[in-house]
Amino acid sequence: MNKKKRNALLLLTAFLGLLLLGVLTEQGRQKIRIVYISKSNEQSIDFWHSLTEGAAMAAEEYEIDYTFLAPLKETDYQKQNALIREAIRMKPDVIVLSPADSEKTLKAAKEIKKKGIPLVLVDSILKEEIADCIVATDNVKAGEELGNYMNTICKGEESVGLVSHVKDSSTAIDRETGIKNVIEAPVVDQVYGKSDYEYSYEVTRQMLQAHPEITVIIATNEYATVGAATYIKATEQGGKVKILGFDNSVKELQMLEAGIIDGIVVQRAFDMGYLGIQAATSIAQGKQVEKRIHSGFRLITKESMYTEENQKLLFPIWMD
């Protein structure tokens, strides 16, 4: 090969290399960017740990540019609102949000829509229907499931105490509604544990001291369930006061196995996180998605917790 041909070949190779680099750079710029703003970054809470694991798995499988933001406590709506505005400045293709408060998060969430960024809600909803898609448990039906189970195991004259989590949380409101829709016993008191174990323990103590006639406690999330059940265990009232609750932390499963807790509604938290990112990715690609996607739930009792199907639900990551 003469010098002239060799130089031409080198120039062609360099040109093709630059062209390929440009294509790869353009592809890099086109990578879908999604920000997920959760309610809580408290990884000791099994529900949020499972949900964020599901979201992270979907982000990896769909090869998106994924950013996770969250306050430490799920009651910290002010920090979450600041994170929403931070996410807006990042100009992602889609923002996924688990609202800390159905009303107090609304203004910040509306700013997402004003900037033309699609919004997917996961786990919780807002006072107004502004989201492009909602991925969540059907919390009214989940509450009804738990309430109906109470009716089957309580045959006498029962009095119910309700330990909810956060007063203006959509999940709390919907679960309370579902429970009250179906239970055949009066709710003599309702307290809020502020999604805190110790506070839930304390309000349970105060409620039972004020209303010793209470024979059933229904709790609406992991914090409330663990707090209430821990008090019942500490005061040796297991069997005398029945406990029904939500979620499937290790502590809850231990107390379910021991008979302190009588039944729990287990959400498919891992699926919820995965489906939220999946829906956001589809929206970014211009695809149509369902307005509401129910991620599912199941009632688990001591008798049913050992089936293979339920073990996979209770331990979704470790039994994959």
What is the DSSP-derived secondary structure letter of residue 241? B
The reply to whether 41 and 117 lie within a common domain is yes
Residue 260 forms part of a structural domain: yes
Q: What pLDDT does residue 12 have? A: 56
Which position has the higher pLDDT, 269 or 17? 269
* Ramachandran class of 259: left when φ > 0, alpha when ψ lies in -120 to 50, beta otherwise: left
| Per-residue model confidence as pLDDT tens digits over 187-226 | 999 999 999 999 999 999 999 999 999 999 999 999 999 9
Residue 89 in any domain: the answer is yes
Contact, 257 vs 302, CB < 8 A? yes
If asked whether residues 262 and 272 sit together in one domain, one would say no
Report pTM.
Answer: 0.85
**Residue 209 belongs to a domain:** yes
pLDDT digits (tens, 9 = 90+) for 260-286: 999 999 999 999 999 999 999 999 999
At residue 13, the pLDDT reads 62
Is the separation of the CB atoms in 266 and 300 below 8 Å?
yes
Q: Residue 178: is it exposed, middle or buried by C-beta count within 10 angstroms (0-12/13-18/19+)?
A: buried
The whole-number average pLDDT for the span 16-39 is 71
Residues 102 and 202 in one domain: no
Does residue 128 sit in the same domain as residue 158? no
Q: Does the pLDDT at position 7 exceed 80?
A: no
Q: Does residue 218 sit in the same domain as residue 281?
A: no
Task: State which residues form the domain around 86.
Answer: 31-136+268-289
Round the average pLDDT of the chain to a whole number and report it: 92
Condensed to tens digits (0 to 9), the pLDDT of residues 78-125 reads 999 999 999 999 999 999 999 999 999 999 999 999 999 999 999 999
Query: 99 and 62 in one domain?
Result: yes
CB of 241 closer than 8 Å to CB of 159:
no
- Same-domain check for residues 143 and 248: yes
- Co-location of 177 and 122 in the same domain: no
Pick from 217, 207, 202, 227: which is nearest to 159 by CA?
217
Q: What is the dihedral of CA 33, 36, 42, 48, to 10 degrees?
A: -120
Q: What distance in Å separates the CA atoms of residue 117 and residue 92, rounded to the nearest whole number?
A: 7
| C-alpha span between 290 and 280 (Å, rounded) | 11
- Asked whether residue 107 falls in the same domain as residue 150, the answer is no
pLDDT value of residue 25: 45
| Predicted confidence (pLDDT) at residue 10 exceeds the cutoff of 70 | no
Tally of domains in the chain: 2
The per-residue pLDDT for range 63-83, each reduced to its tens digit, is 999 999 999 999 999 999 999
pLDDT of 26 strictly over 50? no
Domain contains 5: no
Tell me the DSSP string of 128-196: S---SEEEE--HHHHHHHHHHHHHHH--S---EEEEES-TT-HHHHHHHHHHHHH-SS-EEEEEE-TT-
The domain that holds 151 is classified in CATH as 3.40.50.2300
Q: Give a yes or no: residue 303 inside a domain.
A: no
pLDDT tens-digit readout, 121-140: 999 999 999 999 999 999 99
- Let me know whether 257 and 150 are in one domain: yes
169/314: higher pLDDT: 169
* Domain assignment present for 276: yes
275 and 130 within one domain: yes
Same-domain check for residues 282 and 188: no
In a domain, 44, yes or no: yes
Residue 318 has pLDDT above 60, yes or no: no
Q: Which residue has the higher pLDDT, 10 or 63?
A: 63
- Does 105 map to a domain? yes
